[in-house]
Amino acid sequence: QIVNLADYRPTDFILERVDLTFELDPTNTKVDSRLIFHRREGVDPSAPLVLDGDELTLSGLLFDQNELPTSQYDATPESLIVRDLPASEPFELTITTYINPEANTQLMGLYRTNGIYCTQCEAEGFRRITYFPDRPDVLAPYTITIIGDKAANPVMLSNGNFLGGAGYDEGRAFAAWFDPHPKPSYLFALVAGDLGVVDDTFETMSGNEVALKIYVEHGKEARAAYAMDALKRSMKWDEERFGREYDLNIFQIVAVSDFNMGAMENKGLNVFNDKYVLADPETATDQDYANIEAIIAHEYFHNWTGNRITCRDWFQLCLKEGLTVYRDHEFSADMRSRAVKRIAEVRHLKSEQFPEDAGPLAHPVRPTKYREINNFYTTTVYEKGSEVTRMIATLLGESGFKAGMDLYFERHDGQAVTVEDFVTCFEDANHRDLTQFSLWYRQAGTPLVTVSSQYDQSSGSFTLSLEQMIPATPGQPTKEPMHIPLSFALISDNGALATPTAVKGGEVTGEVLHLTERQQNFTFSGISPRPVLSLNRSFSAPVNLHFDQTPTDLAHIARYDTDLFARWQALTELAVLNLTQGVRDLKTGKALTCDPAFLSALLEAAGDETLEPAFRAQALTLPSESDIARELGGNNDPEAIHAARQAVLYAVAKEGQPLFLRLFEDMKPAGAYSPDAASAGKRSLRNIALSYLSYAEASHARAAEAFAAADNMTDLAQALTVLAHRFPDSTQATEALETFQSRFEGNALVTDKWFSIQATIPGAGALERVKQLMADARFVASNPNRVRALVGSFAFSNPTGFNRADGEAYRFLAEQILAIDQRNPQLAARILTSMRSWRSLEAQRADHAHSALMQIERATVLSADVRDIVERMLKG
């Protein structure tokens, strides 16, 4: 059924404390839960206590230590309702349930992964462990006792500080934990098993010593060093940048190999997908290192934005996620190159969030209804949520933003709050009214800003006409105009920034122009000669710009803007013009020609030694096929898009061949591999040069040599990708895949790369290849990373292979979704979202996609997760 934001009301009973005892057993774990409640003041004295459950059986219930007559309660798998409870005084309920961790293939609640007991409770997994008021606004301190087989579970962890542990009875031991910070159930965690540990310490700004521990499978300890380093840097950064100090005497991270998402911020005990913990030069790429740094930081930052201050209900998810993503973005920007980080963020936002916002799954950053909350851990809530936070920082400036955050931490520590509470802090701290701005939380859809400009030489006035349009989205046919902060610069012909003497028509603060009406003209005076407008610099607002800027003006920005991000943006815009024109030319049978202005701007940036290599690599990375599809807007033919992009790659490669040769020679970092940003930047520039050379030279020879010479996973995986994607039928590709696989046999994370590189080989043969790989003994259907690496990569990242014209791959995906759904609904629902843009395909493919979706919808057994996604995709 549907949950509505408008229906929120507080619980009838207040939970005072929680005391849990687990007697671990792989198939029959006993859970005793002692809960102390009292009735909230003013609540009807006859109102029953209603607790949530999910697939539970009640096997014992005590009221103040006494057996409760069966007439006083009703227990079903989904709920426990207790009647005739005291009107005001506190009482204690003791609930006993037995659960089967081994049989838990959903990976929600308590489950087993490689012999390790592990939990995932966000959003509603705790109710799979015991009956509980499983909602984020019920906060209590927890005491946890874990009893388990001594030999099998030398490590038994939960949230908070360690109280003690010892032998329990013959063969069993116990460990006890206490978390003094009141928390909701979704932040509960338990981990037990035989794990190796890496130890360190951190001294907080007020001098407390915190024990840091990262638990991994035995033998993988050395691969946790970078994660530990990232953790210490995160702790320090949060103190310096946000004044946030850690608040327990221990902070623990556990890496597990079966996990539905990236990681989870359980209080004092973060649980991670081991993909985001384990790294060494031989097995991890630069991108893996960067992801580890970002996700370790993200989960750590949740300690304040999420845990100390949590969400009142799940509609407020962006309160913690958008804000925490913004914080981890800022952290990575401080650790690495800010401009390059921003480019990566915007690439990701545009390729993932923009399509979501433009399709049937579009929803506001703060949704108002849901059927399955797991389906709202979306790029809109996370990434657009982060952009909205960033815009608040842009509107208020650094110190205004800081003042608002300080007030938020001070005012709401220990509470479960709403987006309105958050925004009010910024309003109160800055005496500002953010009412119109708040529409960003409520209106879905990517705003389209149409831009035109006029320059009057005689009066020296430059007029900018802006019009905003927010497209209709499911449930929101019409929209109000929003407050869109657009960072801008007027660049004169010698590259200097022009400063107007006056502005009329709207508010401009510093470098930011505030578009607040549907249509607005801004007139700048004192401008001479005609300036080139650089708009939405650093992507100050997550909008689409419709602006017919000439290639000459774009090239001017690409050359002169002082904002590196804006230079990249202008290059991308030039590339998009050429790529979309290329698609049209192909359709009309014209030969594709690249604009020389585009080629020279691109190669000039790539060859500019005053620019950092990582930026130059970004400049050379053309928009992806799905980016082009999005720019084209509809009736898309993935084959034509692929062909046009290939043609442009050839043109760039031919024109830039001497440069690429030079870069390939010069950009090898000296000495042993180091994951630092500067070295990674060089590698990325060198590897993209290698990829262009494979076009210019039309040969696999250089990539094969690079593969043989590689001394780190970044170079190795890149060379392998060039071989496999560009020359799939060559013996060199086959041999390299074979070598790669056998060299890293048994390493799950590298095996995932092996699957995903093959799943993304473009072209008609892809489906057969994927089917063969599914039959490979290394394909493990129970491991989410492996399923994502094969099925997910194919559906999300192989546009020509997946969108083959006969629709066979859609049918294949439908079958896979139904199979995955049987064991892991969250994973199935997530992979199904790969079809979210099906309506923008050309008619025949769209038809096939439609029947595949219908095939899923008609299935007799379907999880709530998949049903929700498929129905929205068919309807929206």
Q: Is residue 831 close enough to count as binding ligand ARG by CB under 6 A?
A: no
Sign of CA dihedral 774, 776, 781, 785: negative
The option from ligand ARG, Zn ion, none interacting with 377 (CB < 5 to 8 A, set by class) reads: ligand ARG
Stretch touching ligand ARG by CB under 6 A, among 256-264, 495-503, 692-700, 730-738: 256-264
The option from ligand ARG, Zn ion, none interacting with 261 (CB < 5 to 8 A, set by class) reads: ligand ARG
Catalytic, out of 124, 293, 299, 631 = 299
| Beta carbon nearer to ligand ARG, 418 or 534 | 418
Q: Is residue 122 close enough to count as binding ligand ARG by CB under 6 A?
A: yes
Residue 177, phi then psi, degrees to nearest 5: -130, 150
Per the CB < 8 A criterion, the answer to whether 488 and 535 are in contact is yes
The option from Zn ion, ligand ARG, none interacting with 767 (CB < 5 to 8 A, set by class) reads: none
| Beta carbon nearer to ligand ARG, 220 or 327 | 327
| Beta carbon nearer to ligand ARG, 85 or 831 | 831
In the region spanning residues 297 to 326, those forming contacts with ligand ARG, defined by CB under 6 A, are 298-299, 321
The option from ligand ARG, Zn ion, none interacting with 123 (CB < 5 to 8 A, set by class) reads: ligand ARG
In the region spanning residues 263 to 292, those forming contacts with ligand ARG, defined by CB under 6 A, are 263-265
Q: Is residue 261 close enough to count as binding ligand ARG by CB under 6 A?
A: yes
Stretch touching Zn ion by CB under 5 A, among 315-323, 421-429, 505-513, 645-653: 315-323
Residue 480, phi then psi, degrees to nearest 5: -90, 155
Q: Is residue 706 close enough to count as binding ligand ARG by CB under 6 A?
A: no
Cα separation, 658 vs 652, in Å, equals 11
From its phi and psi, is residue 84 left (phi > 0), alpha (psi between -120 and 50) or beta? left
Point out the residue whose Cβ comes nearest to ligand ARG: 377
| Beta carbon nearer to Zn ion, 324 or 572 | 324
Stretch touching Zn ion by CB under 5 A, among 46-54, 316-324, 411-419, 558-566: 316-324
The option from Zn ion, ligand ARG, none interacting with 217 (CB < 5 to 8 A, set by class) reads: none
- Minimum CB separation of residue 140 from Zn ion in Å reads 22
- Minimum CB separation of residue 302 from Zn ion in Å reads 6
Stretch touching Zn ion by CB under 5 A, among 317-325, 496-504, 626-634, 815-823: 317-325
- Can you spell out the DSSP letters for 673-720? ----HHHHHHHHHHHHHHHHHHHHS--SHHHHHHHHH--SHHHHHHHH
Amino acid at 34: R
Count, residues near ligand ARG per rule CB under 6 A: 11
- Minimum CB separation of residue 260 from Zn ion in Å reads 13
Per the CB < 8 A criterion, the answer to whether 296 and 276 are in contact is yes
Sign of CA dihedral 833, 839, 844, 847: positive
The option from Zn ion, ligand ARG, none interacting with 264 (CB < 5 to 8 A, set by class) reads: ligand ARG
The option from ligand ARG, Zn ion, none interacting with 561 (CB < 5 to 8 A, set by class) reads: none
| Beta carbon nearer to ligand ARG, 394 or 824 | 824
Q: How many of the other CB atoms lie within 10 Å of CB of 655?
A: 18
The option from Zn ion, ligand ARG, none interacting with 361 (CB < 5 to 8 A, set by class) reads: none
Count, residues near Zn ion per rule CB under 5 A: 2
| Beta carbon nearer to ligand ARG, 123 or 688 | 123
Stretch touching Zn ion by CB under 5 A, among 70-78, 323-331, 500-508, 633-641: 323-331
| Beta carbon nearer to ligand ARG, 373 or 558 | 373
Continuous H helices in 493-595: 551-560, 564-587
- Minimum CB separation of residue 437 from Zn ion in Å reads 23
| Beta carbon nearer to ligand ARG, 382 or 673 | 382
| Beta carbon nearer to ligand ARG, 122 or 383 | 122
The option from ligand ARG, Zn ion, none interacting with 703 (CB < 5 to 8 A, set by class) reads: none
Per the CB < 8 A criterion, the answer to whether 131 and 95 are in contact is yes
Which residues touch 525 (CB under 8 Å, ≥6 apart)? 459, 460, 461, 462, 500, 501, 502, 503, 504
Stretch touching ligand ARG by CB under 6 A, among 245-253, 259-267, 597-605, 755-763: 259-267
C-alpha distance from residue 278 to each of 199, 253, 331 (Å)? 15, 12, 20
The option from Zn ion, ligand ARG, none interacting with 263 (CB < 5 to 8 A, set by class) reads: ligand ARG
The option from Zn ion, ligand ARG, none interacting with 770 (CB < 5 to 8 A, set by class) reads: none
| Beta carbon nearer to Zn ion, 122 or 280 | 122
Which residues touch 71 (CB under 8 Å, ≥6 apart)? none
- Minimum CB separation of residue 673 from ligand ARG in Å reads 29
Cα separation, 444 vs 385, in Å, equals 11
Helix (H, G, I), strand (E, B) or coil at 46: coil
C-alpha distance from residue 162 to each of 156, 158, 174, 515 (Å)? 10, 8, 12, 53
Cα separation, 803 vs 796, in Å, equals 10
| Beta carbon nearer to ligand ARG, 682 or 830 | 830
Q: Are strands 448-456 and 461-469 parallel, antiparallel or unpaired?
A: antiparallel
Per the CB < 8 A criterion, the answer to whether 599 and 619 are in contact is no
Catalytic residue at 299? yes
- Minimum CB separation of residue 325 from ligand ARG in Å reads 8
Cα separation, 626 vs 642, in Å, equals 10
- Minimum CB separation of residue 379 from Zn ion in Å reads 12
Residue 245, phi then psi, degrees to nearest 5: -110, 150
x-or-dash pattern for Zn ion, window 324-363, by CB under 5 A? x---------------------------------------
- Minimum CB separation of residue 249 from ligand ARG in Å reads 23
Packing angle, helices 864-875 and 825-832, rounded to 10: 20
Q: Which residues pair with 513 in a beta bridge?
A: 486, 508
Q: And the tokens for 490?
A: 């007027």
- Minimum CB separation of residue 273 from Zn ion in Å reads 13
Closest CA to 764 of 808, 723, 721: 808
Cα separation, 61 vs 574, in Å, equals 68
- Minimum CB separation of residue 115 from Zn ion in Å reads 27
Closest CA to 235 of 300, 160, 188: 300
Residue from 33, 94, 104, 374 in contact with ligand ARG (CB under 6 A): 374
| Beta carbon nearer to ligand ARG, 215 or 488 | 215
Cα separation, 485 vs 582, in Å, equals 33
Closest CA to 511 of 482, 485, 532, 530: 485
Residue from 123, 254, 724, 832 in contact with ligand ARG (CB under 6 A): 123
- Minimum CB separation of residue 382 from ligand ARG in Å reads 7
Q: How many of the other CB atoms lie within 10 Å of CB of 28?
A: 12
- Can you spell out the DSSP letters for 426-446? HHHHHT---TTTTHHHH--S-
| Beta carbon nearer to ligand ARG, 374 or 540 | 374
Q: And the tokens for 546?
A: 């419709």
- Minimum CB separation of residue 125 from ligand ARG in Å reads 7
Closest CA to 104 of 823, 826, 863: 823
Helix (H, G, I), strand (E, B) or coil at 220: coil
Stretch touching ligand ARG by CB under 6 A, among 136-144, 260-268, 332-340, 784-792: 260-268
**Which residues are known catalytic residues?**
299
- Residue numbers of the site for ligand ARG (CB under 6 A)? 122-123, 261, 263-265, 298-299, 321, 374, 377
- Residue numbers of the site for Zn ion (CB under 5 A)? 321, 324
